[in-house]
Structure 1
Amino acid sequence: MTSEVATLAGGCFWCTEAVFKDVIGVESVESGYIGGRVPNPTYKQVCGGDTGHAEAIRVTFDSDQVRYGDILDMFFATHDPTTLNRQGNDVGTQYRSAIFPHSDEQADEARAAMERAAKDWPAPIVTTIEPLTQWYDAEDYHQDYWDSEGQRNPYCMAVIPPKLAKLRKSFAARSKTVAA
């Protein structure tokens, strides 16, 4: 088993976390903040849009079961990479679409994944590839949010099930739920 890490921002971290927790080969998904200039930001600070951080997830995966390129393909298929600083009703730089590569190889793969995904979107992809900076874990109540609180949250109920459906349809062989 070879563990690797992918750090991705695709809007609300509750929504992206829920998707990647359903992927075969994913060992863990953490919600947090990256790409900003304020040390130890809080959720309230990041939501205010003034820290420069993105709501992001850190996905630890077994690269013998799922490749980094596959993770990126799922990332591009389950959020809108064509809207600048926005995912649905969430607006601001904290909701930007971004990839934070952990190596030069991941940066190369990120560029290749954007090229692969471009044909599936009617507008240009605006996802950025940003330097891997300090990661800050989100507060405990944000971790595993879909499983703990999200299914009682109207926002999550409107946004997450369609993302999970897309994952399970487009990547059925990769879904823990479909394979079960």
Structure 2
Amino acid sequence: MEKKEIYLAGGCFWGTEHFFKQIEGVVETEVGFANGHTTNPTYKEVYTDTTGYAETVHVKYYPDVVSLEFLLQMFFKAIDPTSLNKQGHDEGTRYRTGIYYTDSEDLPIIEKVFAEEQKKYQQPLAVEKLPLENFYTAEEYHQDYLDKNPTGYCHLPQSLFEFARQAKEKKGIPTSY
């Protein structure tokens, strides 16, 4: 089965990664830093908000099991799409939201989900929608952080992880969790 990939910045990457790992069809996740202007940044450097990077999750999935459209709909359930450079208590450009793609054929799907989401809000969405320029893997202790530290900090509510575990594309997405 062929895998596809998408890069999603949803605020703190610990919770965003844990959320996507719950979704059936997602087969691999990796946290790191996307679309910045330095080479091989460390978490400490990204934390200064001077590198231009966003905390991002590299999501690999089986499109025969879960579609990009479904993943993006789920992404919008895990973020405040109108909040600029802030998710939960986390503030700074590293916490901006974004969808970074590597396959230009994904753009029409991304545009469709954006348009559907925009209808729900008066103000414009503050989510970047760009080709992936670069991605650097974060240090090992950040990978699968909430699996290693179940009581660790997370801006996402526990109920959202349960929601992601139960959401199945064939049934459609429930409107609330």
Which TM-score applies when normalising by structure 1?
Answer: 0.87
* 2:168 alignment partner in structure 1: 173
**In structure 1, distance between residues paired with 2:27 and 2:146:** 17
Residues 5-20 of structure 1 mapped to structure 2, 5 A cutoff: 5-20=5-20
Aligned to 2:104: 104
Amino acid at match of 1:172: A
User: Sequence identity of aligned pairs in percent?
Assistant: 38
Query: How far apart, CA to CA, are the structure 2 residues paired with 1:110 and 1:92?
Result: 24
Unaligned runs of 5+ in 1: 175-180
Question: What's 2:172 paired with?
Answer: none
Aligned residue number for residue 64 of structure 1: 64
Distance 1:167 1:122, change over 3 A: farther
Report the Cα distance in structure 2 between the residues aligned to 1:166 and 1:173, rounded to whole angstroms. 10
Q: Per the alignment, in what secondary structure is the counterpart of residue 38 of structure 1?
A: coil
2:20·2:164 contact (CA, 8 Å) conserved in 1?
no
Structure 2 residue 53 is the aligned partner of structure 1 residue 53 = yes
Amino acid at match of 2:161: L
TM-score for both structures, normalised by structure 2: 0.88
Q: Distance in 2 between matches of 1:14 and 1:160?
A: 12
| Structure 1 residue 21 displacement after superposition | 0.4
Shift in CA distance, 166/120, structure 1 to aligned 2, threshold 3 Å: farther
Unaligned runs of 5+ in 2: 170-177
The letter for the 2-side match of 1:105 is E
Q: 1:159 to 1:133 in 2, by over 3 A?
A: same
Q: How many residues align?
A: 169
Within 5 Å, which residues of 2 pair with 1:16-95? 16-95=16-95
Higher helix fraction (1 or 2):
1
Q: Give 1:159's aligned amino acid.
A: L
Q: Does 1:159 align with 2:152?
A: no
Q: CA deviation at 1:152?
A: 2.4
> Over aligned residue pairs, what C-alpha RMSD do you find?
1.7
Q: Deviations over 1:21-72 (max 9, x none)?
A: 0010111010000110010100011111000000000000001000111111
